[in-house]
Amino acid sequence: MPKSADGTVRVPHARMETDDGESPVFGSFIIAVSYVLVFLTFPVSLFFCFKVVKEYERAVIFRLGRLRSGGAKGPGLFFTLPYVDNFRCIGLRTGVHDITPQEILTKDSVTIRVDAIVFYQVSNPLAAVCQNKDYNKSTKVLAGTMLRTVLGTRSLSEILADREAIAANLLENLEIATDQWGVHVEKVEIKDVKLPKQMQRVMAAEAEATREARSKVIHAEGEQRSVVALKQAADMLSSSPVSLKLRYLQEMNNIAAEKNHTIIFPLPTELMEGLRRRFGGSVEKE
């Protein structure tokens, strides 16, 4: 009979449907004696023969160590033979496991600490009992191992940016691995990624430098646009002297509206240029 690496006996699916008639002769004799004892001790034996499993449970019954046909029993009432049958109840409700924080070396050689959580439930009670010694422990250990394996192939930036994709990949791998144990993994979530203090300071300095560089670029682009706009406005004003004077008057009106005692009257640069030429010519003549 095949065995796993930890010594767990792996029962083939065909073996799970074993008929009770395949029991040896001595086993059949013991079963017959048990039925006789149940009949002789009736109705006291009823308290020992009938068991109840809840709605969210299933009972896997073994008769003389062999798996009984008919699959898992429940929910409700079922019959067992004392000292011949033994059973194990398996819960079908979703369980949650908080994966132990893992120290992981990423693809770009950065050590991080990752917290994750996995939700799973039993989908096949027969496989959960016969295919694995402890499906709860196996699922938890496998989840931690696969978390290290998957994150070890990713860089730090990918882990921080693609948590959902990594969780989906991890869920797919776990679902394939635990299917033979009768366990269905419903969801995997990465709760937290903790970086070393030094790495946090380096990333904060890098982000600050990136923001500062971006702000300088935005400021330079704004200055460039403003220069273009001012040049266009100057060209339009220079083409019409009346417009320039109206602009002067508008600025004077704005200054006066603020209740200032000092009013600055701008002189046209053409006037200043004419005065400079006039005085310059008179000096040259002297």
- List, for residues 140-178, the tens digit of each pLDDT value: 899 988 988 888 888 888 888 888 888 888 899 999 989
pLDDT digits (tens), the chain, 286 positions = 444 443 344 444 444 444 444 547 877 878 788 878 878 888 887 888 888 888 888 999 898 888 888 788 888 888 888 888 888 899 899 888 888 888 888 888 888 888 889 999 999 999 899 888 888 888 989 998 898 888 888 888 888 888 888 888 889 999 998 988 999 999 998 888 888 777 667 777 777 788 888 888 888 888 888 888 878 877 777 777 767 667 767 777 776 666 656 666 666 666 667 667 777 655 455 5
- Concatenating the DSSP letter of every residue in 219-281 gives HHHHHHHHHHHHHHHHHHHHT-HHHHHHHHHHHHHHHHHTT-S----PPPHHHHHHHHHHHHH
pTM of the predicted model over 0.85: no
Angle (nearest 5°) at CA 22 between 20 and 25: 100
Give the span between the Cα atoms of 81 and 286, in whole angstroms.
139
Only one residue has tokens 């819960």, namely 91
- List, for residues 16-61, the tens digit of each pLDDT value: 444 444 547 877 878 788 878 878 888 887 888 888 888 888 999 8
Q: What Cα–Cα distance (Å) separates residue 12 from each residue in 60, 139, 164, 193?
A: 16, 20, 36, 41
